[in-house]
Chain A
Amino acid sequence: MLARLVVLPLALLMAGPALAQTTASPIPLTPAGAPSEVYRSVVRIEAAAQIPDYQTPWNSGRFGGGIGTGFVIGKNQFLTNAHVVSNARRLLITIHGSPRKYPAQVKYIAHDCDLALLEVGDFSDFEKFPVFSFGDVPQLESQVRVIGYPIGGERLSVTRGVVSRIDFSSYSHSRADQHLIVQIDAAINPGNSGGPVVQDGKVVGVAFQGLRQADNTGYIIPTPVIRRFLKDISDGHYDYYVDLGASTFPLYNPAMRQALKLKDDGNGVLVTDVTPTGSCDGVLKPGDVLVSIDGHEVDSAGQILLDGEKVDLNEVVERKFAGDKVALRWLSQGTWNDKDVELKPLPPARMYAIQYEKKPRYTVFAGLVFQPLDTNLFATSKLDDVNVRRLYSDYVPKGIFTEREDIVLLTRVESDPVNSQLGGFTGKAVDKINGTVVKSLKHAHELLNPATPPEFFVIELFGSPRPIVLPGNAIAAANKRVSETYAIDHLSNLEE
């Protein structure tokens, strides 16, 4: 079916902390004529990160980190990947051939396109370095150089490769986003992440991910995506991508075209679903046929010709910003329609993306741990309950988010005399608390902590044979016991 989640064996190219140290050897002289000057502007980024623990959300989480690459693109502007600096607690930048470490911080970060902009406290040492400028999407078969600090040594590394594919594909950092991507056959490795990919002295991409199952496939973020990021942050904050909020199905089938009374010209794509509250909500309807977007003819595979390349129709939307308009032309039950649709982001869609820089939300009630369902939780817990999986996959397409901002799950039961018989209820989603439909974690927390406790708290779970029942007068003591026994200093965290 029209799957929303695409799981690809993509590997991010940040080097882990456990790298073998290599002994320093004398630096060979750079051959005459090599563009060594530009190397100075490619910096090594050392990141120390604190990764939140969604299984025990009150704990500090794990401390880790790794090595990535960044490069100077302007005054006190270092571009790198978001995944290099995600959840970072300390960032240090080193210049090629220098022992000095410059503390840095994240100025802007865009997890949906895996880009981040860093700045250092004092830029004066970098002032005289060349600044990288951006080129266009490199041509197929053309040669590029990847510069960075990959595993296998401490020093700068340069590899060469050929552009092998230009595609619209998954960005694995968030697990939920697809953008333009360029595949090259250079050996790029963990540590290359965030490094510039150069052609004719200009940056044509940022190295960011590889493929676990294949050799010599590296992926780079091309300049349209980078330019979009830089333009988005020019107003001082990052606003995320906008979303058309419509899914489509190809119209190759002659019977399908005949039924929709379309000419056999290979154009038009079928609208199959329109996301509630999305940009096209109330404009497009399932069953409509989309034929052009911003004047570009949409073919029956949902592709358009943009800058001489066949790309997904969403590429038009990709390059726009919140508030921008896109001109749609579509056929609806025999009638032609034209409209400029205002684009907006779709915040609920972040349900399907891994979140960073967030503190896990939870509330603990008499040892029962409630957490909102999201992809971070999915990634750490084994959630196999059919009802929970259904709520997750239907959350955006069926507009469940309009009724329930959060899907609240009972994720754990910390043993306590009051809950000793409730172990079998974990992993299920909460429907109601004392008869009230639970709309969010905050709402659940409020329902569980009223001014005067009821005789019984009755918690109904989806797909559970009976409700969970806890006596109101036993909660306060249980909370105290649980807090002390399990070292949970704060029984709830309702803010990210």
Chain B
Amino acid sequence: MRPHLLLPLLLLSACDRPQAAVAIPAAVPEAPTPGPVPVSNPEEILSSVVRINTTQQSWDQAEPWQKNSPGKRRSLGAIVGNGLVLTTAEMAADATYIELESADGKRLAPAKTVAVDYEANLALLGLTEESNAKFFEGTKPLEIAAPPKPGEMLDILQVEENGTPLITSGGIQSVDVVSNFLPGQFFLTYEVKASMQSAASSFSLPVLREGKLAGLLTSYDSKDQLSDVTATEIVARFVKEGADGDYAGFPSLGISISRTEDPNFRLFLKLPENGGGLYVSNVRVGGAAEKAGLKKGDVILSIDGHEIDRLGYFEDSHYGRLYWSHLVRGAKASGDKVDLVVQRDGQPQEISAVLDRRDEVSQLVPAYAFGKAPSFLVKGGLIFQELTKPVLESFGNEWQSRAPLNLLDVYENPQKYESRGRRIVFLSNVIPTPATVGYEPLQSMIVTKVNGQAIKDMKTLIEAFKTPAADGLHSIEFDEEKFHVYLDESVSDTVDKQLLQRGLPKLSRAED
């Protein structure tokens, strides 16, 4: 992952976030982990978990009118409330059908997503139809455990295909603030050392402590025998806020930061030799920090009374050293206030910010769009799309060098383009048709105007194409290209009808 400003909240300077390496050297559990063992009270445990089967199908970013081939996944969810099942957001992403299955395989019920947080990688599922309420008869929701300490043991729960529960105990080797699903989204996570086996479900599993829910396992590295377990606080907050069906999400401050460990840089910023501090390298327009008056170049000295060191860590009374972002995303909810002490022009200042949640949809280039069909327009064979990160990622693993440079520029420097509108609309490709003769080489060109009207998103584009000039021609203008492309309305109409006949299910879609 390379750093760039789009990743929400927090980004390190020229260096990547040190994954786990700077984590707390916790008291490593003494005994080597023995691996999975059968459970003494299987009935009780099985009454608190369900299997989840999902069918997932994402949209085809290159041919946005159709979907990719579907895939299936299984996982083990934890019953956390009245008819609510907790699992990872990965399970709910682009889901077309979710089914709950009792651990013994006897009962099945279709389910829906009640709340989902792709950034924290958590999802809460409930029944689609209330008539299925008997599915949960005899089940017992798990209570949320008290947050464990580094070094303590956790129980990872799996259920074999035959319905036998398995418990693997592992110690919390370290506690860190890392991302486990979407890059750049950092949340409090336990690194648990345990040797697991591949059981019936995937590695999306409940983690218990003394029979209560202590976290959700999101990934397992069989080589290092290390699991990432979303921390108790994060799970607890998500379940609490999500259970009412009106989930607000984890808040953010809206800044990018640089560390201040470079002694020359500290000298320049007039920071004391043995102090800490985080350099604010960018403040997102409209974010909580900007509203509170935080400026690029400020140095954050403390957050809510916790001193922040030069690498970005603070001393948490429970967990030890943690990355500063936990003080915002994890310790707080949207609407909460956070008190900062910053150094500006050599003088300390106090700033209070009211945290809010940045909705990904409000971003110029959304970093994810699960479950949302891509917006597009096919006009006479010209294919227009809205720029999103999934579109860029469709250029393959090497998308950061393979995707068109002008589109990457928008992604990396959105502030240059933000004044233009809600989304960047671009001509992605050209289907050879009678209307697009000679236009075949055009691709990946950002559209600025159609028929003289400024293009701010797909809706405005579709609207602008409704009014061709008097001569029946549409004129299309592009960013950085100084010529117009014209399209004949009557020819493109005929072409559009043929495209529909030849299997394009629809010619446009404009999502909010």
A and B from one assembly? yes
Residues of B within 8 A of A300 (CB): 438
The B444-475 residues at the A interface (CB cut-off 8 A) are 444-445, 471, 473, 475
A466 within 8 A of B: yes
18 pairs from A and B in contact (CB 8 Å cutoff): A1-B481, A2-B441, A255-B486, A258-B473, A300-B438, A384-B401, A390-B405, A393-B405, A421-B264, A423-B14, A456-B268, A458-B268, A465-B3, A465-B279, A466-B258, A466-B279, A470-B264, A474-B264
Assuming A259-B471, A386-B408, is B268 touching A469 (CB within 8 A)?
yes
- B488's nearest neighbour on chain A, judged by CB, is A255
Assuming A253-B438, A469-B265, is B256 touching A287 (CB within 8 A)?
no
Known: A471-B267, A471-B268. 14 other contacts (CB 8 A): A1-B404, A1-B442, A255-B486, A255-B487, A258-B486, A271-B483, A272-B483, A386-B408, A422-B262, A424-B13, A424-B14, A456-B267, A463-B412, A469-B265
Give 10 nearest A-B pairs by CB, closest first.
Answer: A424-B14, A252-B438, A286-B482, A465-B281, A421-B262, A255-B488, A469-B268, A259-B486, A255-B486, A253-B438
A325 within 8 A of B: no
Q: Contact check, A465 vs B256: say whether CB atoms are below 8 A apart.
A: yes
A250 within 8 A of B: yes
State the CA gap A463–B413 with chains docked (Å). 8
Residues of A within 8 A of B480 (CB): 398
B1 within 8 A of A: no
Residues of A within 8 A of B484 (CB): 259, 287
Rounded to whole Å, the gap between the CB of B417 and the closest CB of chain A is 13
Q: Contact check, A258 vs B488: say whether CB atoms are below 8 A apart.
A: yes
Residues of A within 8 A of B400 (CB): 384
The A449-464 residues at the B interface (CB cut-off 8 A) are 456, 458, 463-464
Main secondary structure of the interface of B (DSSP, over half): mixed
- B491's nearest neighbour on chain A, judged by CB, is A255
The B251-305 residues at the A interface (CB cut-off 8 A) are 256-258, 261-265, 267-268, 279, 281-282
Residues of A within 8 A of B408 (CB): 386
B247 within 8 A of A: no
A418 within 8 A of B: yes
Assuming A424-B14, A465-B282, A466-B265, is B258 touching A386 (CB within 8 A)?
no
B21 within 8 A of A: no
A356 within 8 A of B: no
The A233-252 residues at the B interface (CB cut-off 8 A) are 249-252
State the CA gap A165–B414 with chains docked (Å). 47
Please tell me the size bucket of the interface on B.
Answer: 35 or more
Main secondary structure of the interface of A (DSSP, over half): mixed
B31 within 8 A of A: no
A254 within 8 A of B: yes
A6 within 8 A of B: no
Residues of B within 8 A of A252 (CB): 437-438
State the CA gap A286–B477 with chains docked (Å). 12
B153 within 8 A of A: no
- B412's nearest neighbour on chain A, judged by CB, is A386
Q: Contact check, B471 vs A253: say whether CB atoms are below 8 A apart.
A: no
A389 within 8 A of B: yes
- A392's nearest neighbour on chain B, judged by CB, is B405
Residues of B within 8 A of A393 (CB): 405
Q: Contact check, A254 vs B437: say whether CB atoms are below 8 A apart.
A: yes
State the CA gap A469–B443 with chains docked (Å). 41
Q: Contact check, A255 vs B3: say whether CB atoms are below 8 A apart.
A: no
Interface mask (B135-179 → A, CB under 8 Å = 1, otherwise 0): 000000000000000000000000000000000000000000000
Rounded to whole Å, the gap between the CB of A398 and the closest CB of chain B is 8
B409 within 8 A of A: yes
